[in-house]
A and B are shown apart, each in its own frame.
With several copies, the nearest count.
Chain A
Amino acid sequence: MKPPPESSVVVPDSAQPADLLSRVISNDWVNARYKHLVVAAPPQAAQARPGQFFHLLCPDAGGEHPFFRRPMSCYGASPRQGTVEFLYKVAGTGTRSLASLVPGATLPMLGPLGHGFSLEPAWRTIVVVGRGVGLATLAPLAEAAAAAGIAVQAVFSARDRDSVMSVERFEASGARVTVVLDSDGSSDPAKVEALLRRLHVQGMADAFFTCGSTRLLVLLQRLGRELGVPGQVALEQQMACGLGMCFCCVRPFREDDEVVNRRVCWDGPVFDIQEAMP
Chain B
Amino acid sequence: MTDMSVSVGALRLANPIMPASGTFAEGLAEVIDIERLGAVVIKTITTELRAGNPVPRVAEVRSGMLNSIGIPSKGVPYFLERTLPYYRRFAVPLVVSVSAPTVAGFASIAKAVSVPGVAAIEANISCPNLEEDGRAFAMEPRSAATVTAALREATPLPLWVKLTPNVGDIAAVARAAENAGADALVVANTVLAMAIDIDTRRPRLGSIMGGLSGPVIKPIVVRMTYQCAKAVKIPVIGCGGIASAEDAIEYMLAGAAAVQVGTATFVQPSAMLAILDGMEAWCARKGIHRVADLIGAIRDTDLELAPAQY
B49 close to chain A: CB less than 8 A: yes
Residues in B neighbouring A16, C-beta threshold 8 A: 30-31
Say whether A19 contacts B269, CB under 8 Å. Answer: yes
Binds A, one of B69-77, B102-110, B147-155: B69-77
CA distance A245 to B64 in the complex (A): 17
B146 close to chain A: CB less than 8 A: no
Q: Which 8 A-B pairs have the closest CB atoms?
A: A243-B27, A1-B51, A244-B27, A248-B58, A245-B25, A241-B266, A248-B57, A240-B266
Q: Which residue of A lies closest to B19 (CB)?
A: A245
Say whether B55 contacts A67, CB under 8 Å. Answer: no
The B-contacting residues of A in range 1-33, CB under 8 angstroms, are 1-4, 6, 8-9, 11-12, 16-19
Q: Mark A49-62, 1 if CB is under 8 A from B, else 0.
A: 00000000100000
Interface size class of chain B, counting residues whose CB lies under 8 Å from the partner chain: 35 or more
B56 close to chain A: CB less than 8 A: yes
Residues in A neighbouring B193, C-beta threshold 8 A: none
B97 close to chain A: CB less than 8 A: no
CA distance A238 to B62 in the complex (A): 17
A191 close to chain B: CB less than 8 A: no
Q: Mark A234-269, 1 if CB is under 8 A from B, else 0.
A: 000110111111111011000000000100001000
How many residues on A have C-beta within 8 angstroms of the other chain's C-beta atoms?
Answer: 36
Q: Which of B24, B31, B65 contacts A68 (CB 8 A)?
A: B65
Assuming the contacts A3-B74, A238-B56, asked whether A67 and B26 have C-beta atoms less than 8 A apart, the reply is no
Interchain nearest-CB distance for B200 vs A (Å):
14
What are 22 A-B contacts defined by CB distance under 8 Å? A2-B49, A2-B51, A3-B51, A3-B73, A4-B74, A6-B82, A8-B82, A9-B86, A17-B31, A57-B268, A238-B57, A240-B65, A241-B27, A241-B266, A244-B25, A245-B23, A247-B69, A247-B72, A248-B55, A248-B69, A261-B51, A261-B72
B50 close to chain A: CB less than 8 A: yes
Residues in B neighbouring A245, C-beta threshold 8 A: 23-25, 27-28, 43, 265-266
Assuming the contacts A6-B74, A67-B61, A68-B60, asked whether A110 and B269 have C-beta atoms less than 8 A apart, the reply is yes
Say whether A110 contacts B57, CB under 8 Å. Answer: no
Residues in B neighbouring A251, C-beta threshold 8 A: 55
